[in-house]
């Protein structure tokens, strides 16, 4: 089964990465972390944000961006950035693509973006706002990619546990 991939370039805030990890577990998505990280993976904050799901996370760390590229040759990588020319809903996400997000304080370096201009995507927002929270941005773009792939392997319908008899 193909899986989507979320890539965090040098994430700085453990709670964001923990939240993203939980979202990845809930969606069957792989998480890739490019060092240096602004925290240790065993910190309490990351575990608290990821709750008891962190142990189930498919996560890989890389020493740097070059190692990430070497270990994922031919990967189709979309770059989520406020500098992107394409709205995130205007591209077609393959079921095994990679979606990269930059660190909270600076985003993805422009030298990386310059080599990937056609795959840079942005979330529309008011011009006075610098950016959305990293974990929110990941959720927005990831769920669009999942939607485009028909939410493959995901539970699509919920049900009430105590009141099913009252619903017609």
Which range (27-31, 47-51, 109-113, 148-152) has the least confidence?
A: 47-51
- Which residue, among 101, 139, 140, 106, has the nearest Cα to 123 in the 3D structure? 140
The CA dihedral of 80, 66, 98, 117, to the nearest 10 degrees, is 40
The percentage of the chain sitting over the pLDDT mark of 70, rounded to a whole number, equals 89
| CATH no., domain 5-166 | 3.40.1280.10
Residue of 15 and 42 predicted with greater confidence: 15
Q: How far apart are CA 32 and CA 23, in angstroms?
A: 13
Asked if 161 and 125 touch (Cβ cutoff 8 Å), the reply is: no
pTM strictly above 0.85:
yes
For residue range 93-108, what is the model confidence (pLDDT) as tens digits? 999 999 999 999 999 9
Q: How far apart are CA 85 and CA 81, in angstroms?
A: 9
Query: Is 127 known to sit in a ligand binding site?
Result: no
Q: How confident is the model at residue 165 (pLDDT cuts 50, 70, 90)?
A: low
Is 102 annotated to bind ligand?
yes
Buried b (16+ CB within 10 A) or exposed e, 71-87: ebeeeebbbbbbebeee
CA distance 21 to 32: 10
Mean pLDDT for 129-136 is 92
3-state secondary structure (DSSP) of residue 29: coil
Torsion angles phi and psi, residue 87, rounded to 5: -75, 140
Helix, strand, or coil (residue 61) = strand
What does pLDDT average to over the chain? 89
Any known ligand binding at 6?
A: no
């Amino acid at each position: 089964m193909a899986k989507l991939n979320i890539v965090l370039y040098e994430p700085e805030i453990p709670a964001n990465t923990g939240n993203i990890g939980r979202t990845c577990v809930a969606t069957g998505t792989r998480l890739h972390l490019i060092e240096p990280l602004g925290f240790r993976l065993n910190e309490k904050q990351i575990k608290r944000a990821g709750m008891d799901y962190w142990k189930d996370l498919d996560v890989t760390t890389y020493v740097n961006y070059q190692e990430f590229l070497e270990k994922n040759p031919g990967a189709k990588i979309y770059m989520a950035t406020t500098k992107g020319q394409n709205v995130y809903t205007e591209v077609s996400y393959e079921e095994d693509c990679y979606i990269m997000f930059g660190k909270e304080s600076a985003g993805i370096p422009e030298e990386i973006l310059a080599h990937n201009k056609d795959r840079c995507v942005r979330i529309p927002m008011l011009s006075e706002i610098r950016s959305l929270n990293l974990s929110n941005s990941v959720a927005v773009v990831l769920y669009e990619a999942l939607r485009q792939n028909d939410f493959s392997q995901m539970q699509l319908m919920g049900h009430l546990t105590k009141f099913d008899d009252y619903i017609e």
